[in-house]
Structure 1
Amino acid sequence: MLNFKRNRLRNNALVLLNCLLLLSISCKNNEKKAETSEPPQTSVWSEADAIIEKIGTIEFPDSTFDIKDYGAVADGRTLNTEAFSKAIEACSLTGGGKVVVSSGKYLTGPIHLKSNVNLHLEKGAEILFTKDKSAYLPAVHTSYEGMEIMNYSPLIYAKGQKNIAVTGSGILNGQADKTNWWPWCGADRYGYQEGDPKQKDEHNLPTLFKMIEDGTPVEKRVFGEGNQLRPLFLQTLECENVLIQGVTFTNAPFWVIHPLKSKYVTVDGITVNSHGPNNDGCDPEYSSYVHITNCKFNTGDDCIAIKSGRNGDGRRVNIPSENIVVENCDMKDGHGGVVMGSEISAGVRNVFVRNCTMNSPNLDRAIRIKTNTLRGGFVENVYVKDIEVGQVKEAVLKINTYYGIYGVQEGEFIPSISNINLENITVEKGGKYGLLIKGREERPVSGITLKNVTIKGAETPLLVENCEPINYINTSINGVDYSN
């Protein structure tokens, strides 16, 4: 019988969290307007603890289902899609348990998880996802860069399920490379050849943009065969009680871990080592109560990127991502350590980051917020503390409301960015800028506080535009004290 500690903990935790949030709001309303005053934050990290408590833990029944008992062959050549499907089905139908992948190499198509199933990879197990693109059809309800579509199935996928997990110490190998999936991004360095189809071609992203503009229902936004929009690695859509623990992800086609419209998600002790295009490590989107802890990220894009939909599709769904805790993680290569955006049209709030290390000559920024006036959205109540940054290339904190990689992206949705707090941060080599902030004249960035922050080696200490005065408390950049 299932024993979910989460159900026992949530009610008390929710009461505590609501009280703490009310107290925090009350404190902010009574705060003196003087920029030199220190904002009271005595309860902030208790809010983070309450979020973790509400997420709780999942325990599965002791029943085990070895995929070899359902015909799986660990030779790296035999296609085991049916064996995985049968084992997961049997596990779910009998009330749940653990689907075991023992040592060996298992080739498979997409794996679709079901409620109460823990897919467990033992030491020495490696799942190889086939390069045969037809295996990922028929198209399923998924997403691409913050827009919902019908597309190739994610490599691991669950929709509308509860109490699901992927755990263990094995490897999940997407087998994406310069000959498989990656060339569709259209970049030469990822294997694209001039004249080959790519994601920016008219029948791909431009068609999807037009569908969203026209209000086309998701079920009629059909891509897949004949299109070049890459699948996600692991996606949970409209799921509750999700655990991703211990495993290693490599060679991803696109974003790696993507909780979408999901609640009570724990990502614990995983390793992402994948340097392909758009190989974000973990991207919670339209999701709440997410705990990312003890993880290692070495990626081709953002290590962690918190999202909430793109442009009109994000405003249609209108579910902010909120109540997210990141702690005890190690970030190496990536466009950013912890990022909010760029798909952020429904907003992000209540993000807590603590006890992390970020260090690589190929890490562009430590904390990053990115949006524009087509995407709009808001970011509020972000708390970052106890972070050790060895080296970043561009900036320790970058806030950009002019973000764009598809040319000029100007619209009528002025983003709002407020209450961003950095505390106990040490940076040995700050890159091109210490702080790089580009707000909008119509709505400047507000409520930025740096407390006990030391940044060394920044080429330019500050580049700040359209931002209300920053509150510096015991903060120095390149040996200069900026304290108010």
Structure 2
Amino acid sequence: MKTNTPHLLLYLFCFSIFIYSCKEKEKKAVAINVFDAADKIINDIKILDFPNNTINIMDLGAVADGETNNSEVIKKAIDSCIKIGGGKVIIPSGNFLTGPIELKSNVNLHLEEGANVLFSTNHKDYLPIVHTSFEGVELMNYSPLIRAYKQKNIAVTGKGTFNGQANNTNWWPWCGKDTYGYVEGAAKQHDSINLPRLRKMNENNTPLSERTFGDGYQLRPSFFEPFECENVLLQGVTFTNAPFWVIHPIKTNYIRIDGVTVNSHGPNNDGCDPEYCKNVHITNCTFNTGDDCIAIKAGRNDEGRRVNIPSENIVIENCDMKDGHGGVVIGSEISAGVRNVYVRNCKMDSPNLDRAIRIKTNTLRGGFVENLFVKNIQVGQVKEALLKINTYYGIYDNQEGEFIPSIKNIYLEDIQVENSGKYGVLIKGRAESPVENVTLTNVTIKGAKTPLSIENSQPIVFKNTSINGKQY
């Protein structure tokens, strides 16, 4: 059979153009659809609806002098609201001292403008101990300042302020650092009866009922902690002077955090730490913190692997990150894994902001991170890097084990960095499991002392990206 070579070559050429065109269209479709998934997550978090009932704590005898403890009045208001089918509990303008607040289903705790809720500095007010968590490990400990446990359809809204009144004489010294008021010889969280004991309980899978801390121990409580809840709204309020992690939803699904301000510079004052959570929307918030602005968690070491609930489907947008160890961080308590995180339209800028995007883990944590999409971020100044991926986190504290982490599918697009500090991109992967599939598209990085420091990673894919004026 005779072959018409010119026609065959023309056919092959046209076919190759067709295949190339299809692949390019497929790539564009993927790029377009990525944040469609984020929009779907947002739409799946329903708008909460509460009955049209209101109870003002002043009508039940609250005293706004900043000295009278209003714990019982606030509890009575919430209980009364439940009895009439739910609704809104109002804290009006004024200074209201209280112990811990327990939220219940179908109640919206609403702080009117000028409301200043001051939390007691008497640690015994946070007893009896309750089921909570400390750095990725569950335990029985002091109550969080605001707590919801196994509730549905709950909200905290308004324009007021929650002041934890933690400072260098209350809660903070327990971290053991003199910059936070610790005095040499005083009890601290790293004493053998505290964190080391809890860590050993984690390793041994000690029953929760035996993980008793609280009075006589030095493990600080979280500020706002919905635990095993569903449909949670946190909107408009301000948090300041937190003992420990500020916003810590754990094992909780369908969460919207909207227009919240965190201005708290104490030790371990992470702004927002979703842990074992699914379907989370963090939007229009300001974070000015003593630790990570947002840190997505998934349990620590053995506990995280036992619980085995990945944190997933998390959208962060229109937020302003100021001081902090990182803008958007994943880890280090990450043992159950994190997937499908979307970050867009945020601003990150402070001489006291260490990194913009950070992933931190080690071989005790293990875990995985996959599918992180970051788009349209304006970074003014950071100290260390636009992007830092570190699989040797805490190595100098002997945090080495047998659980090799997996990190893949990290996409950064449309990002401008004015001053990236020490590095543009810093990656420390593992030879046993190199970091996979990191792509930078339309990224401009200025002011990096070292443009790239990459260990044990697949080659980064650069598309229209420059560092210090050089195209990559």
* Equivalent residue number for residue 271 of structure 2: 281
Hey, what does 1:351 align to over in structure 2? 341
The Cα of 1:40 is off from its aligned counterpart by: 3.6
- Equivalent position of 1:184 in the other structure: 174
1: CA distance between counterparts of 2:355 and 2:85? Answer: 45
The CA distance in 2 between the partners of 1:162 and 1:39, in whole Å, is 37
Q: Distance in 2 between matches of 1:224 and 1:213?
A: 21
Residue 307 of structure 1, CA deviation: 0.4
Structure 1 residue 42: Cα displacement? 2.4
CA deviations 1:346-368 (Å, max 9, x no partner) are: 00000000000000000000000
Give 1:318's aligned residue. Answer: 308
Do the aligned partners of residues 406 and 104 (structure 1) sit closer, same or farther apart at CA in structure 2, a change above 3 Å counting? farther
Q: Partner of 2:192 in structure 1? A: 202
Q: State the identity as a percent.
A: 69
The letter for the 2-side match of 1:105 is N
> Number of residue pairs matched?
449
Could you tell me which of 138, 146, 152 is aligned with 1:162? 152
CA contact (8 A) 2:194 2:219 kept: yes
Provide the residue aligned with 1:222 in structure 2: 212
Correspondence for 2:5: none
Give the alignment partner of residue 91 of structure 1, picking from 77, 81, 97: 81
Distance (whole Å) between structure 2 residues aligned to residue 257 and residue 70 of structure 1? 29
Which whole-Å CA distance do the structure 1 matches of 2:72 and 2:463 have between them? Answer: 59
Deviation at 1:41, TM superposition (A): 2.1
Correspondence 1:336 to 2:307: no
Matched, 1:173 2:134: no
Deviation at 1:136, TM superposition (A): 0.1
Supply the distance in 2 between the matched residues of 1:174 and 1:332 (Cα, whole angstroms). 20
User: Given the alignment, which residue of 320, 327, 347 partners 2:317?
Assistant: 327
Say whether the 8 Å CA contact 1:320–1:347 is kept in structure 2. Answer: yes
- C-alpha distance in structure 2 between counterparts of 1:182 and 1:384, whole Å: 34
SS at match of 1:343: coil
Contact 1:52 1:291 in 2 (8 A): yes
Give the equivalent residue in structure 1 for 2:93: 103
Cα separation, partners in 2 of 1:189 and 1:260, compared to 1, 3 Å: same
Query: C-alpha distance in 2, partners of 1:408/1:464?
Result: 23
Rg comparison, structure with higher value: 2
Query: Is it true that 1:70 corresponds to 2:60 in the alignment?
Result: yes
The question of 1:269 aligning with 2:259 is answered yes
Q: d(CA) in 2 for partners of 1:69 and 1:263?
A: 34
Distance 2:41 2:396 in 1: 36
SS at match of 2:440: strand
Picking from 231, 248, 271, the partner of 1:241 is: 231
Q: How far has the Cα of 1:309 moved from its partner? A: 0.2
Question: Are 1:152 and 2:152 matched, yes or no?
Answer: no
> Is the 8 Å Cα contact of residues 444 and 468 (structure 1) preserved in structure 2?
yes
1:225, CA displacement in angstroms?
A: 0.5
Deviation at 1:61, TM superposition (A): 1.4
Q: Tell me: CA distance 1:373–1:155, structure 2 relative to 1, closer, same or farther (3 Å).
A: same
Matches within 5 A, 1:11-160: 40-160=30-150
CA distance in 2, matches of 1:94, 1:216: 41
Residues 362 and 395 in structure 2, CA contact (< 8 A), matched pair in contact too:
no
- Indicate the residue corresponding to 1:454 in structure 2: 444
Task: Report if the CA contact (8 A) 2:436-2:458 is conserved.
Answer: yes
User: TM-score, with normalisation over the residues of structure 1?
Assistant: 0.91
- Give the letter aligned to residue 148 of structure 2: A
Judge conservation of contact 1:420–1:449 (CA < 8 Å) in 2.
yes
Question: Are the aligned partners of 1:361 and 1:392 in contact in 2 as well (CA < 8 Å)?
Answer: yes
Task: Indicate the RMSD between aligned Cα atoms, in angstroms.
Answer: 1.3
1:174 aligned partner, one-letter code: G
Q: Is the 8 A contact 1:100 1:121 kept in 2?
A: yes
Distance, in Å, in 2 between the alignment partners of 1:41 and 1:398 is 23
Selected match of 1:393 from 379, 383, 389: 383
**2:403 equivalent to 1:413:** yes
SS of residue matched to 1:42: helix
Give the C-alpha shift of residue 59 in structure 1.
1.8
CA spacing shift, 1:438–1:39, aligned 2, 3 Å: farther
Q: CA deviation at 1:406?
A: 6.9
Q: Distance in 2 between matches of 1:298 and 1:99?
A: 28
Q: Which runs of 5+ in 1 are unaligned?
A: 1-29
The 1-side partners of 2:183 and 2:167 are apart by 14
Change (3 A) 1:116 1:293: same
Alpha-carbon spacing, 1:193–1:405, altered in 2? closer, same or farther (3 Å): farther
**Distance in 1, Cα, partners of 2:345 & 2:174:** 37
Residue deviations 1:322-376, cap 9 Å, x none?
0000000000000000000000000000000000000000000000000000000
Q: Counterpart of 1:322 in structure 2: which amino acid?
A: E
Partners of 1:31 and 1:39 within 8 A in 2: no
Deviates more, 1:88-97 or 1:150-159: 88-97
Provide the C-alpha distance between the structure 2 equivalents of 1:445 and 1:39, rounded to a whole number of angstroms.
Answer: 25
Q: CA separation in 2, counterparts of 1:272 and 1:306?
A: 16
Tell me, what secondary structure is at the counterpart of 1:305? strand
2:14 corresponding residue in structure 1: none
Shift, 1:405, TM fit? 7.4
Shift of residue 70 of structure 1?
A: 1.9
Instruction: Output the TM-score relative to the length of structure 2.
Output: 0.94
2:423 aligned to which of 433, 441, 453:
433
Aligned to 2:299: 309
Which blocks of at least 5 consecutive residues in structure 2 are unaligned? 1-21
Q: Partner letter of residue 397 of structure 1?
A: L
